[in-house]
Amino acid sequence: MKLISTDHSAWIITGGTNTGIMKLVGEIVQQNPDRSRPIHLIGIATWGCVSGVEQLAVRGSNVVYPKSHSNASGEAPLEPNHSEFIFIDDGTARKYGGEIEFRAQLTQAISGGFFAPRSACSVNMETPSKAASQSSRPEKPVPVILLVVEGGPFTVKTVHEAVVQNNIPVVFFEGTGRCCNLFAKAVRLYDDNRRNFEDTEGASPSNSMIKNYDELKNKLRERLTKELDEITHLGDGPNINGDRTPRQTPFQDVPTTNERKTPTDDSSVCFELVYACIDKRRNFLNIVSLNSQSPVEPDIDLVILTALLKGKRY
């Protein structure tokens, strides 16, 4: 993580708050020995979730932001070592997740279509507006990647937005907890079961293969019950006292057939997001196991390079 956070050529984008991995990355960047070459650490946060946000509601002048911690639910202070901040004001207060869609779209725009599907590049049949937007892309597309350490249900939604909606590859650090462990287990189950029935049926599509895929999805849902329950019950948000109390989830506003949503509803929605990532963009999901007993640490640079190359083959 230190190697990634001290690369002067990279832009690092986080949620911007002084909690969890975002705080750790900020502290690592602060150790940058070359002050003449600042590292771009960009925080993108939902305006209504920033502690002391009223201090920032000014135009045309600098402000002092002394807030370093908060005990209030649904908000967190900004991490002080970030070089830039972008705030998304969706009109909500103390409701996480308002920045997820914007963040993925911004990352895709920065990449300049680095992972655009090959079919989109074969024939130029765009409307004038699309052609104009493509002409404004960088001449040299920029590789981008999403690195996930632990993470809760909002991270699941972030991964889905990045992978399925914006073709951005992801690296999960298995062993760090919740979201990473959920995806790692789901990917392995998917690969093992798919390999088994494809070896039996062959590569050509058939009714029996479609049935196998349906059975595969149901099997994954059953085998991931524990991980899904944990991630949707605990939710996301800064955990000040280290307790494991229920938190917000991005699934609370998803309509269901019940008048009152239950944790089971959250688990079902969460599973659908995970399965969509695996089924539609398996090539974009990369797992680094930190559970290994091997004395040799994973080569993170190699993992990232491999993930980028796999994404380019999409």
d(CA 180, CA 231): 10
Structure tokens at 177: 């907890």
Confidence bin at 206 (pLDDT 50/70/90):
low
Residue 308 within a domain: yes
Residue 60 within a domain: no
**pLDDT, position 238:** 52
Residue 226 within a domain: yes
What average pLDDT does this structure show over 163-181? Answer: 95
d(CA 217, CA 49): 36
**pLDDT, position 314:** 65
Confidence bin at 239 (pLDDT 50/70/90):
very low
Q: CA of 96: how far to CAs of 169, 214, 279, in Å?
A: 23, 33, 27
Residues in the chain: 314
pLDDT at 208 over 70: no
By residue range, what is the domain housing residue 250?
145-314
Given CA atoms 222, 223, 226, 229 in this order, what sign does their dihedral have? negative
pLDDT per residue as tens digits for the range 108-133: 999 988 887 655 444 344 444 444 44
Structure tokens at 17: 């708050």
Residue with the two structure tokens 């309509």:
255
**pLDDT, position 182:** 97
Residue with the two structure tokens 């690296």:
171
- Number of domains comprising the chain: 1
Q: CA of 214: how far to CAs of 160, 228, 249, 273, 275, in Å?
A: 21, 19, 27, 16, 12
Nearest to 238 by CA among 11, 9, 44, 16: 16
Residue 86 within a domain: no
Residue 113 within a domain: no
Residue 34 within a domain: no
**pLDDT, position 36:** 73
Structure tokens at 173: 């650090």
Do residues 269 and 188 make contact, with C-beta atoms less than 8 angstroms apart?
A: no
How many CB atoms within 10 Å of residue 2?
A: 11
pLDDT at 1 over 60: no
Confidence bin at 144 (pLDDT 50/70/90):
very high
**pLDDT, position 122:** 40
d(CA 301, CA 309): 12
**pLDDT, position 294:** 67
**pLDDT, position 132:** 42
Residue 289 within a domain: yes
Confidence bin at 4 (pLDDT 50/70/90):
low
Q: What is the mean pLDDT of the chain?
A: 81
Higher pLDDT, 191 or 259: 191
Residue 168 within a domain: yes
pLDDT per residue as tens digits for the range 61-86: 888 898 778 888 899 999 999 999 99
pLDDT per residue as tens digits for the range 31-54: 877 777 778 999 999 999 999 999
Residue ranges of E strands in the chain:
11-14, 40-46, 84-88, 146-148, 170-174, 285-289
